[in-house]
Chains A and B, each alone.
Chain A
């Protein structure tokens, strides 16, 4: 059992999401930085899709009511457990009564806390992710509140004394996504050709910044306004996370994990799946650039990311195996 001591409603229970129900209007949802949650789980020997906490508002504090093991990944934030300081991307055992504190990140935006065994909340349509819009999943379909108590599934978790950490190469290279401007690889989307040449140049040549209107549903950007050659009236259609829509204002919106499943605005591009974590870790005000990429390169990137997770799952067994 853990107890939430300090939080805000943007902090939620998440897993890797709820695929399979888009045709019922239900978003995939799940961790905005799915790689960070998957790695935190793998560090503990969990299934990568076990439920953990997504922290987007700081400071965040929780108390363990029993001895537990946890892993914290995602943003680079100051972490303390009891009177000990920890880096992020670290897994460790903690004692009953100890308090875990996450302070505002030095870089990045969202932190993930995975627990050995995973959080024991009832699955809804195959997932424990919180769907705030639909009001289901996670803890009663809502964000975390002070005093909330969450049970953990029981699991054996072997960790070396003092725990262990992982370093993810691409995150080191980009200072966790905060090397400005953040580069997002994009594929052209359905209405790409309907935009003016000047808009094409502005889209990939210019810089964009993330406005205050940024949450799990999507980020509104600001930059040079984009325009269509002639107005378009589209019928509603399914969209995926990463879709870059351009409403009449000309200022793009990037649809994210909790986006509506259907939209009607023209779409200029789609951010590739393996770069969505960069957005999850980009705070309000961060500057972005869009870099065109081929579908083949996007697929190679996805294959590499999956292989990295498989390698991590395998290498954790080696670490733990040495302790036996």
Chain B
């Protein structure tokens, strides 16, 4: 097992600790450890919820049932002793209509990447992405695995409304909007696949560890 540097642990109020295992940019191996520690920590006495982020983990506990120093100690020991393993997630193929009115940043994105629109789209659809974490809004997947050539820093000011189904790029991350909401990410296309359906027995489609591939349903310039 690779030696894992000790995570930074900080208070998030009196009832939560943030365990940060990030070493600069996002790292897949660290994320597998985050998932494993999240599962193990859920069974600790007094722990209420674990929230995997990007190379970090928020752990909520009842401060009247336990205390931050003892939870912190247990998290450190779990981080050092837990075997990280990939999650055998499902593969989801997401059809995308690139560009057009529902993919308004397509041309700007390709230009930023110094690629033709076709080549940028081809690369976006060629990669296999991993759902690193779900968060921000119900069912929103933070996808790792974006071709570094396709990264584009977030907008200076967020759009107040980005439509459900928007296929988006934010820095080195890819994503899909599960609902219409504000976002500072760039919109390169649209999918009709629903990621969040509160009526469904399992309302959130994607889970950490799942794989996502985009399929080119069309390109509109």
A19 contact set on B, CB distance < 8 A: 48-49
**Interface residue stretch chosen among A63-71, A146-154, A173-181, A235-243:** A235-243
The residue in B20, B22, B135, B203 that gathers the most chain A C-beta atoms within 10 A of its C-beta is B135
Say whether A236 contacts B134, CB under 8 Å. Answer: no
Any chain B CB within 8 A of the CB of A187?
Answer: yes
Any chain A CB within 8 A of the CB of B113?
Answer: no
Any chain A CB within 8 A of the CB of B8?
Answer: yes
Any chain A CB within 8 A of the CB of B109?
Answer: no
Say whether A273 contacts B15, CB under 8 Å. Answer: yes
In whole angstroms, what is the CA distance A24 to B138 when docked? 6
In whole angstroms, what is the CA distance A288 to B177 when docked? 35
| Complex partner residue of B12 from A124, A131, A239, A260, CB under 8 angstroms | A239
Say whether B15 contacts A240, CB under 8 Å. Answer: yes
Q: Mark A266-277, 1 if CB is under 8 A from B, else 0.
A: 010011110000
In whole angstroms, what is the CA distance A295 to B216 when docked? 52
Number of residues on chain A facing chain B (CB within 8 A) = 43
**Interface residue stretch chosen among B55-63, B84-92, B96-104, B120-128:** B55-63
B64 contact set on A, CB distance < 8 A: 299, 302-303, 306
- Distance (whole angstroms) from the CB of A275 to the closest CB of chain B: 10
Say whether B181 contacts A187, CB under 8 Å. Answer: no
Say whether B13 contacts A236, CB under 8 Å. Answer: no
- Distance (whole angstroms) from the CB of B151 to the closest CB of chain A: 13
Any chain B CB within 8 A of the CB of A135?
Answer: yes
In whole angstroms, what is the CA distance A299 to B142 when docked? 34
In whole angstroms, what is the CA distance A302 to B53 when docked? 27
Say whether A22 contacts B196, CB under 8 Å. Answer: no
A261 contact set on B, CB distance < 8 A: 51, 135-137
Residue of A nearest to B141 (CB): A25
- Distance (whole angstroms) from the CB of A113 to the closest CB of chain B: 25
- Distance (whole angstroms) from the CB of B61 to the closest CB of chain A: 11
Say whether A26 contacts B13, CB under 8 Å. Answer: no
Any chain B CB within 8 A of the CB of A133?
Answer: yes
Q: Mark B34-53, 1 if CB is under 8 A from A, else 0.
A: 00001000000000111111
> Do A23 and B137 form a contact, CB below 8 Å, given A189-B10, A240-B15, A295-B14?
no
Any chain B CB within 8 A of the CB of A134?
Answer: yes
A295 contact set on B, CB distance < 8 A: 11, 14, 63, 67-68
The number of A-B residue pairs with CB atoms under 8 Å apart is 144
Number of residues on chain B facing chain A (CB within 8 A) = 46
- Distance (whole angstroms) from the CB of A177 to the closest CB of chain B: 19
Say whether A299 contacts B67, CB under 8 Å. Answer: yes
A239 contact set on B, CB distance < 8 A: 12, 58
Say whether B51 contacts A134, CB under 8 Å. Answer: no
> Do A133 and B139 form a contact, CB below 8 Å, given A187-B14, A235-B56, A238-B51?
no
The residue in A23, A235, A271 that gathers the most chain B C-beta atoms within 10 A of its C-beta is A235
Say whether B198 contacts A273, CB under 8 Å. Answer: no
Say whether B54 contacts A237, CB under 8 Å. Answer: yes
Any chain B CB within 8 A of the CB of A262?
Answer: yes
Say whether B60 contacts A240, CB under 8 Å. Answer: yes
In whole angstroms, what is the CA distance A22 to B38 when docked? 13
Any chain A CB within 8 A of the CB of B26?
Answer: yes
Q: Which of A198-246 contact B (CB under 8 A)?
A: 234-240, 242-243
- Distance (whole angstroms) from the CB of B101 to the closest CB of chain A: 23
> Do A134 and B196 form a contact, CB below 8 Å, given A23-B50, A303-B64?
yes
Any chain A CB within 8 A of the CB of B107?
Answer: no
- Distance (whole angstroms) from the CB of A277 to the closest CB of chain B: 15
> Do A298 and B63 form a contact, CB below 8 Å, given A134-B179, A237-B20, A272-B14?
yes
B10 contact set on A, CB distance < 8 A: 188-190
Say whether B134 contacts A24, CB under 8 Å. Answer: yes
The residue in B50, B51, B60 that gathers the most chain A C-beta atoms within 10 A of its C-beta is B51
Any chain A CB within 8 A of the CB of B150?
Answer: no
Q: Mark B180-200, 1 if CB is under 8 A from A, else 0.
A: 010000000000000010100
B50 contact set on A, CB distance < 8 A: 23
Which of A's residues lie within 8 Å of B, judged by CB? 19-20, 22-26, 124-125, 131, 133-136, 141, 187-190, 234-240, 242-243, 260-263, 267, 270-273, 295, 298-299, 302-303, 306
Question: Can you list 18 contacts pairing A with B, beta carbon distance less than 8 Å?
Answer: A23-B38, A23-B50, A23-B135, A24-B204, A25-B138, A26-B138, A134-B196, A190-B20, A236-B54, A240-B58, A243-B12, A263-B136, A270-B13, A273-B15, A295-B63, A299-B14, A302-B64, A303-B64
Which of B's residues lie within 8 Å of A, judged by CB? 8, 10-16, 18, 20, 22, 26, 38, 48-58, 60, 63-64, 67-68, 133-140, 142, 178-179, 181, 196, 198, 203-204, 208
